[in-house]
Amino acid sequence: MSAPTISDVAKSAGVGKTSVSRFLNGETAALSPPLRARIENAIASLNYRPNQMARGLKRGRTRLVGVLLADLQNPFSVALIQGIEAACRECGLMPMICNAGNEVELENRFLDLLRTYRAEGLLVNPVGLPESALRNVVEGDIPVVLMDRKVEGIACDSVGLDNVSASKMLVTHLAASGFQSVAFVSEAWSSISSRRERESAVLAEARLNGMSVSSLVVDREDEQSIARIIDQMRESATRVRTALVAANGQTMLALALELARRRDVGLPGSDAPVAYRGADAPLGRLGLASFDDPDWAAMMTPGITTLRQPTFDIGARALYLLNDRLDTHAQAVREKASGRGNAASSPADTPRNMSFEAELIVRSSTHAAFALAG
Amino acid sequence: MSAPTISDVAKSAGVGKTSVSRFLNGETAALSPPLRARIENAIASLNYRPNQMARGLKRGRTRLVGVLLADLQNPFSVALIQGIEAACRECGLMPMICNAGNEVELENRFLDLLRTYRAEGLLVNPVGLPESALRNVVEGDIPVVLMDRKVEGIACDSVGLDNVSASKMLVTHLAASGFQSVAFVSEAWSSISSRRERESAVLAEARLNGMSVSSLVVDREDEQSIARIIDQMRESATRVRTALVAANGQTMLALALELARRRDVGLPGSDAPVAYRGADAPLGRLGLASFDDPDWAAMMTPGITTLRQPTFDIGARALYLLNDRLDTHAQAVREKASGRGNAASSPADTPRNMSFEAELIVRSSTHAAFALAG
DNA sequence: TTGTAAGCGTTATCAT
DNA sequence: ATGATAACGCTTACAA
């Protein structure tokens, strides 16, 4: 009827619960072969699965890790999950995936739920707003690893892209391709650390290369705002060779499609004719590059130059870091419980920040395929 | 140190655990206002959260629902999740989201994990392979609702698109737009029920309309295979007006980008010139439509005609169906446990299959913008 | 209105 | 080498 318990198995095998438990936990050394066999049979015939809830209750370890993502619609999040799930399998952990849909309220709700289910640790790609309850969680005693974004005043492990190095790579390429001006394009939410890091790094590096710079904000939902940006940049492009740098894949898509749609401006790699102000405008083309390398970047015509993030590795590494903490954390708790608690704070309590190198993928959208007329 | 328990709260408030428990479960009627206040304070000051594991163990209800998806990379899956999460919030359930990455082995592994964590029910978008252990789960006593795909020989609730009605709508539109031939394009895995349903419905309906039909298989990873399809269809298009119908959004993207890339064939809505066999080919354009309405369908130039699925509602409804079963199921278990088990199988044990209507979104990719020369 | 005690399925401790 | 028994944190009769 209801799910069989360890007692059912014990009864059916004619042994004590303890032995069954030992079998389940691989303490095979302390079990005689005949017993082992009987238990194995009983388990199989009853189709028994140990109750992880009860296990967790007793052991104090649920093997659950909360994975809280700002926005599952972003392919970046999905890519992270691949790495996390693979790493979880290795470590015998179970990810509990939650999508905050860019709402702090939901983020907080899930944070609560995850605590309630006694997740042993959290992997968070935070929405990045100050109202977040994340702060309290980190200050509590459950380990947290931040992914992609850091949060002001929260000190914990984090994994992300080396935005400075990536920006250098990209801007160097743009300069070498003859671009003289760089415009960084992102969505409104500039409280997000990675977006800010990318912006300042790109602009700084561009200035170092003697390029003129600007920073623009779009609203992906609002076609008008995108058209306006393009208008503005098309204007600039009549004077200097200009490249747009999108802060992420979704912004890039919006820009690329608008560029493809229009007739008065285009991308370098495109062979569609550009008609703008008649003869005096060989500069009706805007370069385009982007952080993130979504599927469609390669498929588009022309292909879009991107900085590919090792998303799988970022996710996996985040989990490894967490798993680390889990072990030392459990140990610390055990020690304190047994009375010989050390007043000095945990040994390696300092946050570890890992960053990964991006890979620059050059495609035609930044080709130096056009010459300056003037 | 470790998380506070209900006893800690009771002690801190100077009351019995029972009262705290009552407070937690909203049995506020049986609590004097002063007691209530003291408990509330204690909970707040200790930052206490009830342990859901222990709760579930005692009550036999974990409030966990497993959500097992064939492929999280498919935006359709993500869209489903939105609906599921919203509905879960309403019903006080916690979704455990798992991604099988199109691997039966992973699917089975997660099925096991979900049983182990005592998920009360499962929402499954199955990989659709016969080796799946899904069968055993459905035959066990935990309720399952299938999403989008049914599985041969598994009788349980399901929610999906009304593929026949959707196909009719689309084909009728194509016929009215002057297309004389329809080619259904999908990826290899034809063991997937929805893909098969769509194929047969589209082809049948097209025949009814006196159109010639064909069915093609592509491998999204393999550019060659896509190019080959297009070659083939371009050929056909010189004779009759031909429309491609993609089985899902990802197939559509591959086709649209290949069409945009090429010069010898194009889409109706596009104003790019098409050069094919000189003068005798006004038919160098292929119509294109697709099941699924991903973000990019509207943004592309030209826009792609699609059948939009009410994904949010599908996900939400799936959860409601499950929640239903959860209640009646729990009741049944309770009755059996109390000895007066009814030998006759559960009352409403017959599978319910809900289907939703698609919305046809006509865009330029199927415009009758070209005339037959011959 | 409030508290006491038993038990959910498991593991850890201690006997045997 | 094996098993009885007491927790883990919570809910729920039942008692007061």
Summarised one tens digit per residue, pLDDT across range A121-160 is: 999 999 988 889 999 999 888 999 999 999 988 999 999 9
Split at pLDDT 50, 70, 90, the class of A77 is: very high
Strand D contacting residues by CB (7 Å): A 14-19, 29-32, 34-35, 54, 57-58, 60; B 2-3, 5-7, 17-18, 21-22, 24-25, 50-51, 54-55, 57-59
Give the pLDDT confidence score for residue A277 in this predicted structure: 46
What gap in Å lies between CA A196 and CA A182, rounded to an integer? 16
Give the pLDDT confidence score for residue A341 in this predicted structure: 41
Q: Which residue in the block uniquely carries the two structure tokens 């009215």? A: B176
Look up residue B228 and give its two tokens.
């080959």
Is residue A215 a contact partner of residue A259, using CB atoms and an 8 Å limit?
A: no
Residues lower than pLDDT 50 in chain B: 276-282, 339-347, 369, 371-374
What gap in Å lies between CA B124 and CA B244, rounded to an integer? 30
Distance from CA of A33 to the nearest CA of B (A): 26
Distance from CA of B212 to the nearest CA of A (A): 30
Lowest mean pLDDT among A24-38, A239-253, B246-260, B341-355: B341-355
Of the residues A47, A62, A78, the best mutation for testing chain B's interface (the one with the most B CB atoms within 10 Å of its CB) is A78
Decide which of A46 and B232 is more confident. Answer: A46
Q: Is the minimum CB–CB distance between A240 and chain B shorter than 8 Å?
A: no
* Mean local confidence (pLDDT), A43-67: 95
Q: Other C-beta atoms within 10 Å of A209: how many? A: 17
The protein residue nearest C5 (Cα–C1') is B18
Q: Give all strands of the β-sheet with B359-361 in edge-to-edge order.
A: B212-218, B181-187, B242-246, B287-291, B305-308, B359-361
Asked if pLDDT for residue A218 goes beyond 50, the answer is yes
Give the SS3 label for residue B177: coil
- Angle in degrees, CA A148, A209, A271, rounded to 5: 80
Q: Do A101 and B82 touch (CB under 8 A)?
A: yes
Backbone angles phi, psi at B202, to 5 degrees: -65, -45
Asked if pLDDT for residue A273 goes beyond 80, the answer is no
Distance from CA of A223 to the nearest CA of B (A): 10
* Interval A222-238: pLDDT, tens: 888 988 988 888 887 77
Give the pLDDT confidence score for residue B248 in this predicted structure: 92
Identify all chain B residues contacting A81, using CB atoms and an 8 Å cutoff. Answer: 72, 99
Helix axes B17-24, B33-46, angle to 10 degrees: 80
- Closest partner residue to A54 among B57, B272, B300, by Cβ? B57
Identify all chain A residues contacting B117, using CB atoms and an 8 Å cutoff. Answer: 52-53, 94
Identify all chain A residues contacting B334, using CB atoms and an 8 Å cutoff. Answer: none
By DSSP bridging, strand A305-308 and strand A287-291 are parallel
What gap in Å lies between CA B218 and CA B224, rounded to an integer? 9
Q: Is the minimum CB–CB distance between A239 and chain B shorter than 8 Å?
A: no
Give the pLDDT confidence score for residue B371 in this predicted structure: 43
What gap in Å lies between CA B354 and CA B160, rounded to an integer? 6
Asked if pLDDT for residue A221 goes beyond 60, the answer is yes
Split at pLDDT 50, 70, 90, the class of A334 is: low
In strand D, the nucleotides that come within 7 Å of a protein beta carbon are 1-5, 7-13
B10: the nucleotide nearest its CA (via C1') is: C3
What gap in Å lies between CA A244 and CA A304, rounded to an integer? 11
Asked if pLDDT for residue A344 goes beyond 80, the answer is no
Of the residues B2, B49, B53, B110, the best mutation for testing chain A's interface (the one with the most A CB atoms within 10 Å of its CB) is B53
In strand C, the nucleotides that come within 7 Å of a protein beta carbon are 1-5, 7-13
Identify all chain A residues contacting B363, using CB atoms and an 8 Å cutoff. Answer: none
Identify all chain B residues contacting A3, using CB atoms and an 8 Å cutoff. Answer: 115, 118
* Interval A162-215: pLDDT, tens: 999 999 999 999 999 999 999 999 998 767 999 999 999 999 999 999 999 999
Sequence-separated (6 or more) residues with CB below 8 Å from residue A126 = A68, A70, A107, A132, A134, A146, A149, A151
Look up residue A179 and give its two tokens.
């671009």
* Chain B, nearest residue to A298 by Cα: B257
Q: Which residue in the block uniquely carries the two structure tokens 């050929």? A: B235
What gap in Å lies between CA B368 and CA A115, rounded to an integer? 57
* Interval A316-333: pLDDT, tens: 999 999 999 998 776 666
Lowest mean pLDDT among A65-69, A281-285, B274-278: B274-278
What gap in Å lies between CA A184 and CA B62, rounded to an integer? 48
What is the Cα gyration radius of chain B?
A: 27
* Statement: the pTM of the whole predicted model exceeds 0.85: yes
Give the pLDDT confidence score for residue A284 in this predicted structure: 67
Portion 119-158 of A in contact with B at CB < 8 A? 136, 140-141
Split at pLDDT 50, 70, 90, the class of A308 is: very high
Look up residue A20 and give its two tokens.
């069954």
Is residue B302 a contact partner of residue B268, using CB atoms and an 8 Å limit?
A: yes
What gap in Å lies between CA B351 and CA B346, rounded to an integer? 12
- Angle in degrees, CA B91, B93, B98, rounded to 5: 135
**Strand C at less than 7 A from CB of A46:** no
